[in-house]
Structure 1
Amino acid sequence: MILIYLLKVSACTLIFFAAYQFLLARLTFFKLNRLYLLSALLFSFIIPALTIESKREVLINKQATNTEIAYSNQAGFEKDFELEHLENDSSINWNQALEYLYVTVLAALIIRTLAMIGFVKFSINKNSSSQQGKLILVRASSKIKNCSFLNKIIVDESLSNEEKDLVIRHESAHVNQVHAFDKLLVNFATNILWFNPIIYFWRNAIDHNHEFLADYETLKTADKKAYASLLLNLAMPSSSLATHSFSKLPLKKRIMMLYKEPNSNMKKLVYFSVIPLLAICLLAFVNHKEVIVTKNVIGEENSFTHVNVYKQNFFKTAIVLDPNAKPAFNETEVVLVLDAGHGGKDAASVALDGQREKDMNLRAVNILKEEATKRGIKIRLTRNSDEFVSLRDRLPVQAATAFISIHHNATPKNAPAAFGGIEVYVSKLNKNIKVAEELGAVILSNLKKAGGINVQDSLKNGNLLLLRESKTPAVLIELGNITDQKSLDFISQEINLRKISNLILDGFVTFSKRGC
């Protein structure tokens, strides 16, 4: 998420700038300070974007499960249930709203920066009286004068020759040392981190550093007192963030640096303090990804290796089990969250025989729970009676191994006939779709053994809130089409529901033993 990344960048800027302010700002090593300010700013943006992978190999003895992950192109009819006065009012996505606000302000600031650059260029051209190469003389009435802009030096034509000479020397240092690049870089960084107060102090620090560098270069061939006097005489508020003004208020720091004795070279050792700061930021803000390499041994001769990538913090518990080691399964708690779709005022569809889908979903979940309890699998239900539970309240909050939502499909009036059997949905919009695909694929592979009812050959992609926003691996299973007589007859029999339930559980157990 972009906002999390930007918060990490802001935290890095805080650490690096605090080090600069307390350790480096008073030193006279202006070139090193410039290098620090620029490189630390870049590191602040780079570190949170880095990802470190750690590999872990797990050996598992088990039979091969050959399930190809594919998606059906057939349209689905399952939709999220929304009440105008309930879901629409309570489903404000604050993260998305904040992102829109951030992007809006960012766009406005970038436009402002570009407009400011354009205005400075226009104002210089408008007030220009003569130009010789990089040097542009402007009229005394010009608001933009005695400064440098990109690779141009702008000087007030009314100044004396001695004053012009000092201004030109100072501004030439800005141009020759390409300070305009630093200024553009930090201004755009300020636009990106507009909400972070530290970046404005950082921008000021870079401006001050530029002036120290230009002053130092000028004093190599100029009288210190005459130069300081001119700084005071020409002092004026800065009118633009796009230019380097010869003398802008406040001047206290510049005057102090003019008369300060250079620091001894031994003090350069202070810059080595950057190394532990860099290590702290790397440890705290770099992203971590765990790569689990599972080596599956089939029989005594054949083996294959596949790689699954999981985010380190996605699951609170990682289950990697050897099916042949019976105590291992009991030592790690396996939790399955079951959701009976719809409920309460949301009756959903009605079957050909008058049964309501919400009741059929709850019946199927209760049977699934009974079969899971026999196996020692811990079950949590999103509802255990005929009650309405909002979609967001159904999402698992506590750590769980998997989340399965049970539904029954139906063909709406005047719509093409829906699939007349079992379907398994996942959402490609979920950030951890690969893990959900594993769960869906292994369950679908087992359901194909049901017999007596059609089973969709491949997974289906559904843009459903439960699948899209679940942080637990989630699938939605349509147990059959209740407006298809053959399908309804099959799933109306309890023996068939128990058979389907055990096939689902077989897939779940296989999934839980694969490192999830």
Structure 2
Amino acid sequence: MEWLTYLLKVTACTVLFFGFYLVVLRKLTFFKINRFYLLTTLLLSFIIPALQFEVKREITAVETEVLADIPEIKSGTQAPVQLIQPIMVEYQPEVRPKINWMVLMYYIYGGTASLLLFACLWRLFGLLKHTGSYTQNNDGLKLITKTAGFTNCSFFNYVFINDEDLSATDLSVLLKHEQVHARQYHSIDKIILMVFKAVLWFNPVIYLYDKALEQQHEYEADEITSTDFGNQAYANLLLKLAITKSDMPLIHNFVKSPIKDRIKMLFNQKSKNMKKLFYVLALPILLGLVYGFTVEYVDVALSNKVENKRTHLDYSNGKWIKGTVVKTRKDLESSFFTLKAIDKIYTISSGFVDIKIKIGDELNVFVVPNVIPPPPIGEPDRFKNIDEITYVPQTIKDLKGNSIYEYKPEKYAFLYEVNKARFATSKIKSIQKGANNKIEKIVLNDGLFTINLNLKPQNIKDNNFKTGDRVLVKFIGEKLISKNTYTTDKMIVLYSEPKKYLIKNETLYNRFYFNDGKQKVAAVKDEPVKVSEPVKPKIISFYKITGDTKNKISYMKNGVMEVLNNKLEAEYIEFDQGNNKIIAKNGVLKSLDGKSIVKATLFTLDLNRKIFSMKDVEGEYHAVNLGDTDHKKENLVNVNDNIEYSAEDSVKMSKDKSIIYLFGNAKMLYNKTTLSGAKIVYNKNNSSVMVNKATMISDDNKVVKADSMYFDLKSTKAKLYGADLNR
């Protein structure tokens, strides 16, 4: 696609430059300058679109709206009327087009350009065949007598003449004319135009360039020749030889250009030198094209407003990789491309971002691995041995350094957990200590937001944390005291990153967390209301919807739904009307007044059981019972009473939902046994699990790894292939 954009920009440049020549310069008698203008602007038309300049533009940071509390999810007394009935169509696998029109255009363009270049070379060889025998005169011209085909013309210092029809005077005039062509190297211009016409064969302006440049050649030669022999005698010779024609594009034929224009130009009054200032008028066109096609503005926050030294490229596990795109694919949930680098092949997931790349593109990509976040302090890292399957791109550039894609994360002072505790990642700006070396205040600043932690009432004494340390803080009771600055005296816990040290307020911590670090879900404030029938959601809008008529499942991209008196907005929504369930990926759940917001990478809503589950930004799973405040769970989305699963990339099911496919950092829990791998296939019919690149962790933390594994849930026996048992 880039080559097509480049050629279109080249075409735009030629149109503007030649338009200026046609309107302003064509009738001027400065033939050498006009020749230089035509050649120079033609070359600039190819150079300007290839340039790229980056201009940094300072902007003032915009204050970000603070997220409010978790929405209060209420059960309605009546089932709301569904506003939009989704159009159900029979689900069919994606049918890819048989013809790749972009590739076809590439071959048509390249094939035509190659044929034209070949034709140019063929004509050149055909011309050189006649240069074997010649007679050289005193002026260095090589005279070749030729009575048929192209005659009375020249190519460099080779002059093809038909002396049978020319007198001695006419011959001397013709040789003088062709001598000008040879000494001014006009044939080089002809070869350059032949190449450009092959490259821009689809552009009609390039043929006008060719005609105009040849015309300037003839005007220049006519002007010099007529000075020696007189305008009248020279004009008579032009008329005499006007009947001779040639279709050889590489030569300068004595009478090929329009005779009327050439004779008219002979008797025209010469342009005054003051009119040379007209050429200066081309500068605004040049500057406008350079500005429009080469300058790219990049917004940079003012240093005194946003001292963001930790840019979006500062990822501890990130790295630059250079490679070639060998595969691309899309599904309902994400887009992927495979990059072949020197060390290995990387599978990169770009989510719903439509990145303009194609197979064969050579890229520099800054990626971070799509991995499971670290567990809380004191909890074993059961998945530390799982291979990283997919990567997430942060910046994509071509080999010239041009930016193709750049991830720009939203900035918030803090986010909310399901238990309503606030959390933020920042750096320690300062630590204030009082008597007995007790910490009175810790000031955090992430480059944009400041959080003041007042710790004096807690009598904390700690020497592990230092100024500049990166930390994770959890707290409540914050107050906004100035723009982007908060203060609180209710810090729950402060972790170092990596999690080696901590400062904990035991009272608040026990209120919000269990001993293993898992969250205690906040109770629903409202009294439970009995509902006589299942709650039906309302579809508000969507970008694209497809469906499975048989199973009554709608698949929405960028959908918005009203669910249980709240609004759900997500990149991908799967609405199972038959089972009254909703699964949403990368979404936001808002109260209808817009004041309460919860973000999650995965939402699951069971409207029959009134269970709301989510995977929060830290990768932890939580559930809230929407109908019975005494019934709370903290688990993954249940397949049945014993099986729990999750996957980073995608989860797919067969039409009868008896087979479940998990892709990318897939995990399955069964009776305290954890299976994980690149791909997991769970078959409910025979209670079997197939795992690729498998890791099995038992309840006593024994680890077994294998290339593949077959696990029978009924007998709890596993067959291992390529197993590593030295653990």
TM range (shorter): 0.5 to 0.7
What do the CA deviations read for 1:10-65 (whole angstroms, capped 9, x no partner)?
Answer: 11111110100000000011111011101100111111111122347899xxxxxx
User: 2:215–2:257: 8 Å Cα contact kept in structure 1?
Assistant: no
Measured at CA, do residues 297 and 15 of structure 1 come closer, stay the same or move farther in structure 2, by a change above 3 Å?
closer
Of 640, 664, 667 in structure 2, the residue corresponding to residue 423 of structure 1 is: 664
Match of 1:108 among 105, 111, 115: 115
> How far did 1:317 drift?
10
Output the CA distance in 1 between the equivalents of 2:142 and 2:585: 83
The superposition leaves residues 214-263 of structure 1 with CA deviations (integer Å, 9 ceiling, x where unpaired) of 11222332222111111111123342110011112521111111111111
- TM-score, length-scaled by structure 2: 0.43
Secondary structure (helix, strand or coil) at the match of 1:87 reads coil
Determine which structure has the larger helix proportion and give its number.
1
**Which of 1 and 2 has greater Rg?**
2
Q: Distance in 1 between matches of 2:311 and 2:220?
A: 66
TM-score (norm 1): 0.58
Relative contact order (alpha carbons < 8 A, sep ≥ 6): 1 or 2 greater?
1
What residue number does 2:290 align with? 282
Select 2:154's aligned residue among 148, 153, 163.
148
Across the two proteins, how many residue pairs are aligned to each other?
362
2:278 pairs with 1:264:
no
Give CA deviations for 1:379-399 in whole Å, capped at 9, x if unaligned: 999xxxxxxxxxxxxxxxxxx
Structure 1 counterpart SS, 2:169: helix
User: Are positions 1:174 and 2:181 aligned together?
Assistant: yes
Give the match for residue 703 of structure 2: none
Give the conservation status (yes or no) of the 8 Å contact 1:338–1:406. no
1:247 has 2:255 as partner: yes
Is 1:134–1:151's contact at 8 Å kept on the other side of the alignment?
A: yes
- Flag the structure with higher strand content: 2
Unaligned runs of 5+ in 2: 62-90, 302-307, 321-365, 367-393, 415-448, 450-477, 485-541, 552-573, 591-596, 604-647, 655-660, 667-672, 697-727
Q: 1:21 is aligned with what amino acid?
A: L
- Superposed displacement of residue 91, structure 1: 4.6
Which secondary structure does the structure 1 equivalent of 2:227 belong to? coil
Query: Structure 1 regions of 5+ residues with no counterpart?
Result: 60-80, 330-336, 347-359, 382-403, 411-419, 425-443, 445-450, 457-477, 492-516
SS of equivalent to 1:295: coil
Contact 2:650 2:662 in 1 (8 A): no
Q: C-alpha separation between the residues in 1 aligned to 2:409 and 2:224? A: 65
Q: Deviations over 1:101-160 (max 9, x none)?
A: 1111111111111111122222454xx5645553223132x2122111133222223232
Q: What is the match of residue 333 of structure 1? A: none
User: Within 5 A, what are the aligned runs for 1:2-401?
Assistant: 2-55=3-56, 87-88=95-96, 90-125=97-132, 130-131=135-136, 134-140=141-147, 142-158=148-164, 159-235=166-242, 236-286=244-294, 288=296, 290=298, 295-296=309-310, 319-324=409-414, 325=449, 366-369=582-585, 373=589, 376-377=598-599
Q: Could you say which residue in structure 1 is the equivalent of 2:556?
A: none
Q: Conserved in 2, the CA contact under 8 Å of 1:124 and 1:144?
A: no
The Cα offsets for residues 349-404 of structure 1, whole Å up to 9 and x where unpaired, read as: xxxxxxxxxxx9999x95454975376449999xxxxxxxxxxxxxxxxxxxxxx9
Q: Which residue in the other structure is 1:452 paired with?
A: 674
What aligned pairs does 1:480-495 form with structure 2 within 5 A after superposition?
Answer: 480-482=680-682, 485=689
Partners of 2:144 and 2:212 in 1: CA distance: 29
Structure 1 residue corresponding to 2:650, chosen from 369, 383, 406: 406
Q: Where do residues 424-439 of structure 1 align in structure 2 (5 Å cutoff)? A: none
Query: What's 1:473 paired with?
Result: none
Say if 1:339 and 1:369 are closer, same or farther in 2 by CA, change over 3 A. Answer: farther
Partner AA of 2:17 in structure 1: F
Instruction: Specify the SS of the correspondent of 2:177.
Output: helix
Cα distance in 2, alignment partners of residues 34 and 380 from structure 1: 66
Task: Give the 3 Å change call, closer, same or farther, for CA 370–103 of structure 1 in structure 2.
Answer: closer
Distance change >3 Å, CA 165–CA 317, structure 1 → 2: same
- CA–CA separation in structure 1 for the residues paired with 2:550 and 2:403: 37
**8 A contact 2:155–2:187 mirrored in 1:** yes
* Counterpart residue number, 1:514: none
Cα distance, 1:455 vs structure 2: 5.4
Contact 1:421 1:455 in 2 (8 A): no
The answer as to whether partners of 2:49 and 2:294 remain within 8 angstroms in 1 is yes
- CA deviations 1:376-435 (Å, max 9, x no partner) are 449999xxxxxxxxxxxxxxxxxxxxxx9614699xxxxxxxxx98637xxxxxxxxxxx
Change (3 A) 1:409 1:295: farther
Specify the alignment match of 1:352 in structure 2.
none
Give 3-state SS (helix, strand or coil) of 1:168's partner.
helix
Residue by residue over 1:74-122, the C-alpha shift from the partner in whole angstroms, topping out at 9 and shown as x without a partner, is xxxxxxx997xx725x352222211111111111111111111122222
**1:141-187 CA distances to partner (integer Å, 9 max, x unpaired)?**
x2122111133222223232222211111111111111111111111
Q: Pick closer, same or farther for the CA change 1:367–1:82 going to 2, 3 Å.
A: closer
Amino acid at match of 1:423: G
Q: CA RMSD in A?
A: 4.9
Equivalent-residue separation in structure 1 for 2:21 and 2:238 (angstroms): 26
